[in-house]
């Protein structure tokens, strides 16, 4: 009797291969139809079709890839983009560049990068445990947790507990790159067998006042922090930041001249450099790759509208606004703020009262978007002069630029307002 085990296995792989190819083709067709109908960029609906037709397609497309998953409340899109750029120095990379960060978006990105040997994927905080287990990613980057979309999302302490369970129960080789300056992230990472700590900083501390381990009040001493009632404390970081330089474990400094503004993006670069070093990308090569990134899916880009320059910034919650305020302090640039409160934004706009708009007191600003009146009240209370309240963000930008020669208008918008403006401007 002839035994054809090897041949049968090869036949099985070939059968699976053409079935996956067919599913991907159907998903791409649906995505193309969505774009033709003007219903979106198609990555989510195409991915939904793929997952519906083949529920384990994410796991199947992940096999054999050097996968890095990135999750955070803020900064995951930028950090994932930086990781993808650095990994491309070694070859093609699967990357969900449009920010579709749940299972359908991940499926689409893996399908588009099916032949790639590596993947850099941002993942929604609540969906990370399931997708980490499904992909069995070799590296998971955990950056920060803060309040966001609380009408439809979990409290940050609950998300931290889910992350901790994920790290604790991981039964595959997993390196966790964690922000040592965020107590919630630190607590989540601690059960990991291979944790790389990065001193990425944390300006927004209002969501990590209490110890996630014992609920007592944490104590902060400069960058250091600890719980006086249990053993939880800031771990010693292997990677850190000195000014605008990234410092890896060997102590050598790598100055970063990013095209992306703000201290927060140097921190994102440090997290990205630590992640790609795990895959063998040296810090100097990573930094050189980071410096080629000009924008992240429209963030930070300057667009042209009727001859006027508009710099687009995304500010979606108190923590991200705390970082963004440093980027909009130039009084020579008129400031337009656009706020919606749709499902993707969180329908409750009360988070505006946690944003330190007082740091912009004395500035002129234009309030726009669907919740412009809520925003105008908040800005006025903070001492910001609300010059105009206009429904249309681009009309507000035109009004802000009128009457004087300005270099550009700064427009900060939350998620759906940002996407609506982005779809209308010339990049």
Banded pLDDT at 395 (limits 50, 70, 90) = very high
Give the confidence band of 254 by pLDDT, cuts at 50, 70, 90.
very high
Spatial CA neighbour of 233 closest among 171, 268, 187, 265: 187
Task: Quote the CATH superfamily of domain 65-290.
Answer: Mur-like, catalytic domain (3.40.1190.10)
Question: What Rg value do the Cα atoms of the chain yield, rounded?
Answer: 23
| Whole-number pLDDT of residue 13 | 56
* Among 18-27, 36-45, 294-303, 403-412, the range of highest mean pLDDT: 18-27
Whether pLDDT at 1 is above 60: no
From the options 1.10.630.10, 3.90.1200.10, 3.90.190.20, 3.50.50.60, give the CATH code of 302-424: 3.90.190.20
Where exactly are the structural domains of the chain? 65-290, 302-424
Q: Which of 64-78, 229-243, 392-406 has the lowest mean pLDDT?
A: 392-406
Residue 24 has pLDDT above 70, yes or no: yes
In this prediction, residue 115 carries a pLDDT of: 95
For the segment 251-273, the average pLDDT, to the nearest whole number, is 96
Contact 141, 177 (CB under 8 A): yes
What pTM was estimated for this model as a whole? 0.92
For 38, 109, 186, 323, 365, the CA distances from 409, given in Å and listed in that order, are 28, 34, 38, 18, 10
Q: In this predicted structure, what is the pLDDT of residue 153?
A: 67
| pLDDT surpasses 70 at 398 | yes
Mean pLDDT over 87-114 rounds to 96
Report the percentage of the chain scoring pLDDT > 90: 80
- Residue 62: φ, ψ to 5°: -85, -20
- Note the pLDDT of residue 274: 98
Cα(427)–Cα(425) distance, integer angstroms: 6
Kindly indicate the confidence band of residue 396, based on its pLDDT and cuts at 50, 70 and 90.
very high
pLDDT at 175: 98
């Amino acid at each position: 009797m002839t035994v054809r085990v090897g041949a049968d296995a090869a036949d099985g792989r070939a059968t699976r291969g053409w079935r996956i190819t067919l599913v991907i083709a159907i998903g791409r067709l649906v995505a193309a139809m969505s774009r033709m109908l003007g219903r979106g960029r198609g990555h989510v609906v195409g991915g939904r079709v793929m997952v519906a037709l083949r529920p384990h397609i994410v796991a199947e497309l992940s096999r054999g890839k050097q996968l890095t998953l990135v999750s955070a409340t803020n900064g995951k899109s930028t950090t994932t983009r930086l990781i993808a750029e650095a990994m491309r120095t070694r070859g093609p990379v699967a990357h969900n560049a449009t920010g579709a960060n749940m299972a359908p978006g991940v499926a689409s990105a893996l399908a588009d990068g099916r032949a790639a040997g590596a993947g850099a994927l941002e993942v929604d905080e609540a969906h990370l445990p399931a997708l980490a287990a499904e992909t069995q990613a070799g590296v998971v980057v955990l950056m920060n947790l803060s309040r966001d979309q609380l009408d439809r999302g979990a409290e940050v302490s609950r998300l931290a507990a889910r992350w901790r369970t994920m790290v604790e129960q991981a039964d595959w080789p997993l390196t966790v790159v964690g922000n040592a300056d965020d107590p919630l992230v630190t607590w989540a990472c601690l059960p990991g067998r291979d944790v790389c700590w990065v001193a990425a900083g944390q300006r927004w501390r209002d969501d990590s006042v209490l110890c996630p381990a014992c609920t007592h009040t944490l104590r902060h001493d400069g960058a250091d922090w600890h719980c006086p009632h249990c053993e939880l404390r800031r771990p010693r970081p292997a990677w850190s930041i000195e000014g605008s330089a990234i410092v890896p474990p060997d102590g050598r400094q790598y100055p970063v001249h990013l095209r992306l503004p703000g201290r927060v993006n140097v921190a994102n670069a440090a997290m990205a450099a630590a992640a790609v070093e795990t895959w063998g990308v040296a810090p100097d090569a990573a930094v050189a790759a980071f410096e080629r990134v000009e924008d992240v899916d429209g963030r930070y880009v300057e667009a042209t509208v009727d001859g006027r320059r508009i710099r687009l910034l995304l500010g979606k919650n108190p923590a991200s606004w705390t970082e963004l305020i440093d980027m909009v302090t130039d009084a020579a640039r008129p400031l337009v703020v656009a706020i919606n409160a749709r499902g993707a934004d969180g329908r409750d706009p009360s988070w505006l009262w946690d944003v330190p708009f007082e740091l912009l007191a004395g500035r002129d600003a234009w309030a726009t978007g669907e919740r412009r009146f809520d925003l105008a009240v908040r800005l006025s209370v903070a001492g910001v002069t609300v010059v105009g309240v206009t429904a249309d963000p681009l009309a507000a930008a035109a009004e802000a630029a009128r009457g004087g020669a300005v270099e550009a208008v700064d427009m900060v918008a939350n998620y759906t307002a940002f996407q609506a403006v982005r779809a209308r401007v010339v990049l």
